[in-house]
Chains A and B, each alone.
Chain A
Amino acid sequence: MIAFPLRRRQRRDEGGQQALVLDSDWRRPSVRWGLGTAHTVLLVLLVIIGLGPILWLVKSAITPTQDTLAAPLSLFPHGIAWSNLTDAWNQVDVGLYLWNTIVLAFGSLVAQIVIATTGAYALSVLRPKYGNVIMAALLTTLFVPSVVLLVPLYIEVVHPPLIHHSFVNSYWAIWLPEAASAFNVVLMKRFFDNLPREIFEAARIDGCGPVRLFVSIVLPMSRPILGVVSIFAVLASWKDYLWPLLILGNTSLQPLSVRLPAIAAQTELGVFLAAMLIACFVPIVGFLVFQRAFLRGTGLGGALKG
């Protein structure tokens, strides 16, 4: 990876790793100018590609609708329409749908984490007698396309076995199927498999039963993978369209992903774009706030002789 000189020095100090381009090379003008220019161009391109659409959305959300319609590609708006944002919040009721989305995403997150961690813990650490068979069955389900499951899953949600109470128009119909994610269990199990067994054995000798071992040792050591699964869970739930559309007929329960396309036709463009901005704003802020906590490698430093 090519990096700026400052970053390069920091990296070397932290990990003692060699950078791709040596310090002595960087002192040569041809390398410094050539790579420096390439860095700048790449950075500008990345900003345009990555941030461009979001900045364009911000600009359009506060531009009067007529202005956007008249000159959709103009860089600067003629006047600012803050009312788009207030209208989106009050008239389109984007606040309600945002709340629905948050509840759905949070519920999915909790359900997926609970099932993935407990399932993986049982398969990886407790190791039941037929664990390998269960694992093989789980892996098999990964090969079934989700679209194929749509109809059987719908029938099951409408007529669930044993309970005999339809889950239509209930968030449980979203949370429960999402919780049963074989991918999460497999991912989590692979991580648990790599945790050092000696630590589990030390904990068992120290007095941990299976539950305490899970709560006090395995989960705290699994923060990196919990972060990964959490991001997957929240993003998937935030963007999910088809299943909530099928299950949640009641518009007051629908999330943004279902509601925004539905209101697009009858909502003023500026207000609609403002609603989209609000919808995007929350996950972006959420990611920025939590990314360090989630993605920081807490790792196993010092647990074992490396």
Chain B
Amino acid sequence: MAAIRFDGVSKVYGDGTRAVNTLDLAVEEGEFMVFVGPSGCGKTTALRMVAGLEEITAGTVMIGERIVNDVSPKDRDIAMVFQNYALYPHMTVAQNLAFALKLRKISKAEVDRRVRDAAAALDLEDHLERKPKALSGGQRQRVALGRAIVREPAAFLMDEPLSNLDAALRVQTRAEILTLQKRLATTTIYVTHDQVEAMTMGDRIAVMRDGVLQQIGTPEQVYTQPANTFVATFIGSPAMNLLPAPVLGLGADSLLAGFRPEHIHIGSAPNGCVAFQAGVEVVEYLGDEQLAHLRLGEYPLVAKLPVEQRLEPGTAAAFSVARKAVSFFAAETGAATDPPS
């Protein structure tokens, strides 16, 4: 395993599109780093630059102690798992797993051992002689993971590996990847647009937008202390409620106040809380909780509430939010700022 470092890395395409803009980021040895952001934010491009599949326009990428800008993909000692599996269709599962090892002239006994171990770890032992077309989607993705594992590389690069699986399989495979990564302790960069995956899997999360790194931190830091309004609204579902601070009587026009839906409570405000009256527009009943779509003046809010306190759409009710749960952002730049005194 090895640390991975981006120093001022940029990628500009021929048509002038700046996919990644001066990215500075360090992934520690053995760390599970998640790049998350909306489509076109540059997360996959950044990953592909580590893999050597994209030329680096400016800056340096280091794997371990080595600058790899001009190192070919096969010599970077990385393994990549693709969104679409990218299995070799004419090879059996065993041949798919063994292909990279054979190219590296590893002894047959060692190849057999590693293939067997990977197959056992991923529950693929019964499918080794099958071709990819005879496997289900989940099995194919496990073969793709196995192909990365057998290499025993310095780093895993995963490009939205779960996005083609159905919801149940995604949860199961997510857990398998995590278990595997913790056991192997291999440095991993994992790209996803799904913030739930990012939150549940990453040791740290790097949130990107328009090629620019917005924030890097643990899932808790990113969730509780978003660096700007983009991170605040992108991470968390439903998104953080944002409205001008004066609406809640919390400061000047130049500030936005933000609070998570689960921080809204029904009823009048105890000490240290901000109270407001809002209209109830729609209530989504989710079984264990309910999402209430509220309107405070012209501003829509979403509240995540316990199901015991049923709300009637079309009525108005009193709500409160704890003062310490409110984050503040500069209205002009969107950057997080200190609470007003």
Where the two chains meet, the residues of A that have a C-beta atom closer than 8 Å to any C-beta of B are 196, 198-199, 201-209, 212, 216-217, 220-221, 223, 298-305
Q: When each residue 74-91 of chain B gets 1 if its CB lies under 8 Å from chain A and 0 otherwise, what string results?
A: 101011101111111110
Q: How far is the CA of A57 from the CA of B89 in the complex (A)?
A: 44
Q: Contact check: which of B90, B103, B132 meets A206 at CB < 8 Å?
A: B103
**A303 & B74 in contact (Cβ 8 Å cutoff):** no
Q: Would A302 and B90 be within 8 Å (CB), given that A198-B82, A205-B80, A206-B74 are in contact?
A: no
Since A205-B52, A206-B103, A299-B133 are in contact, a sample of 14 more A-B pairs with Cβ atoms closer than 8 Å, ordered by chain A residue number, is A201-B73, A203-B88, A203-B99, A204-B72, A206-B74, A206-B99, A206-B100, A206-B151, A208-B74, A221-B88, A302-B89, A302-B131, A303-B89, A305-B137
**A302 & B86 in contact (Cβ 8 Å cutoff):** no
**B88 & A301 in contact (Cβ 8 Å cutoff):** no
Cβ-closest chain A residue relative to B90: A220
**A205 & B89 in contact (Cβ 8 Å cutoff):** no
Q: How far is the CA of A221 from the CA of B104 in the complex (A)?
A: 22
**A202 & B82 in contact (Cβ 8 Å cutoff):** yes
**Min CB–CB distance A220 → chain B (angstroms):** 4
**A196 & B103 in contact (Cβ 8 Å cutoff):** no
Most chain B CB within a 10 A radius of its CB, from A201, A202, A212: A202
Q: Contact check: which of B73, B87, B90, B131 meets A205 at CB < 8 Å?
A: B73
Q: How far is the CA of A79 from the CA of B157 in the complex (A)?
A: 78
Q: How far is the CA of A298 from the CA of B88 in the complex (A)?
A: 12
The 8 closest A-B pairs by CB, nearest first: A301-B133, A302-B132, A302-B133, A207-B103, A206-B100, A303-B89, A198-B86, A305-B164
Q: Contact check: which of B52, B86, B90, B164 meets A202 at CB < 8 Å?
A: B86
Q: Which residues of A contact B104 (CB under 8 A)?
A: 207
Q: Would A205 and B51 be within 8 Å (CB), given that A302-B132, A302-B140 are in contact?
A: yes
**A205 & B78 in contact (Cβ 8 Å cutoff):** yes
**B53 & A204 in contact (Cβ 8 Å cutoff):** yes
Q: How far is the CA of A205 from the CA of B48 in the complex (A)?
A: 11
**Min CB–CB distance A113 → chain B (angstroms):** 17
**A301 & B103 in contact (Cβ 8 Å cutoff):** no
Q: How far is the CA of A298 from the CA of B90 in the complex (A)?
A: 8
**A221 & B135 in contact (Cβ 8 Å cutoff):** no
**A305 & B84 in contact (Cβ 8 Å cutoff):** yes
Q: Is B134 an interface residue (CB 8 A)?
A: yes
Q: Would A304 and B135 be within 8 Å (CB), given that A205-B51, A205-B80, A207-B74 are in contact?
A: no
**A303 & B137 in contact (Cβ 8 Å cutoff):** no
**A221 & B89 in contact (Cβ 8 Å cutoff):** yes
**A208 & B103 in contact (Cβ 8 Å cutoff):** yes
Cβ-closest chain A residue relative to B131: A302
Q: Contact check: which of B74, B85, B88 meets A217 at CB < 8 Å?
A: B88
Q: Which residues of B contact A298 (CB under 8 A)?
A: 89-90
Q: Which residues of B contact A300 (CB under 8 A)?
A: 89
Q: Which residues of A contact B164 (CB under 8 A)?
A: 305
Q: Would A201 and B82 be within 8 Å (CB), given that A208-B103, A301-B133 are in contact?
A: yes
**B74 & A304 in contact (Cβ 8 Å cutoff):** no
**Which residues in window 250-305 of B have CB below 8 A to A?**
none
12 A-B residue pairings within 8 Å (CB atoms): A199-B89, A203-B99, A204-B52, A205-B52, A205-B53, A206-B151, A207-B104, A301-B89, A302-B89, A302-B132, A302-B140, A305-B164
**A301 & B132 in contact (Cβ 8 Å cutoff):** yes
Q: How far is the CA of A220 from the CA of B99 in the complex (A)?
A: 14
Most chain A CB within a 10 A radius of its CB, from B79, B88, B132, B151: B88
Q: When each residue 146-181 of chain B gets 1 if its CB lies under 8 Å from chain A and 0 otherwise, what string results?
A: 010001000000000000100000000000000000
Most chain B CB within a 10 A radius of its CB, from A209, A299, A300, A302: A302
Q: Which residues of A contact B85 (CB under 8 A)?
A: 302-305
**Min CB–CB distance A203 → chain B (angstroms):** 7
Q: Which residues of A contact B103 (CB under 8 A)?
A: 206-208, 212
**Min CB–CB distance A303 → chain B (angstroms):** 4
Cβ-closest chain B residue relative to A223: B90
Q: Which residues of A contact B90 (CB under 8 A)?
A: 220-221, 223, 298
Cβ-closest chain B residue relative to A207: B103
Q: Which residues of B contact A305 (CB under 8 A)?
A: 83-85, 137, 140, 164
Q: How far is the CA of A303 from the CA of B140 in the complex (A)?
A: 8
Q: Which residues of A contact B99 (CB under 8 A)?
A: 203, 206, 216
Cβ-closest chain B residue relative to A300: B89
Cβ-closest chain B residue relative to A202: B86
Q: How far is the CA of A79 from the CA of B103 in the complex (A)?
A: 66
**Min CB–CB distance B102 → chain A (angstroms):** 9
Q: Which residues of A contact B82 (CB under 8 A)?
A: 198, 201-202
Q: Contact check: which of B84, B133, B140 meets A198 at CB < 8 Å?
A: B84
Q: Which residues of B contact A221 (CB under 8 A)?
A: 88-90
**B74 & A209 in contact (Cβ 8 Å cutoff):** yes
**A303 & B100 in contact (Cβ 8 Å cutoff):** no
Q: Which residues of B contact A223 (CB under 8 A)?
A: 90
Q: Which residues of A contact B137 (CB under 8 A)?
A: 305
**Min CB–CB distance A222 → chain B (angstroms):** 10
**B53 & A201 in contact (Cβ 8 Å cutoff):** yes
Q: Which residues of B contact A302 (CB under 8 A)?
A: 85, 87, 89, 131-135, 140
**Min CB–CB distance B218 → chain A (angstroms):** 29
Q: When each residue 101-143 of chain B gets 1 if its CB lies under 8 Å from chain A and 0 otherwise, what string results?
A: 0011000000000000000000000000001111101001000
Q: Contact check: which of A216, A220, A301, A303 meets B86 at CB < 8 Å?
A: A303
**A304 & B73 in contact (Cβ 8 Å cutoff):** no
**Which residues in window 48-62 of B have CB below 8 A to A?**
51-53
Q: How far is the CA of A120 from the CA of B97 in the complex (A)?
A: 28
**B74 & A205 in contact (Cβ 8 Å cutoff):** yes
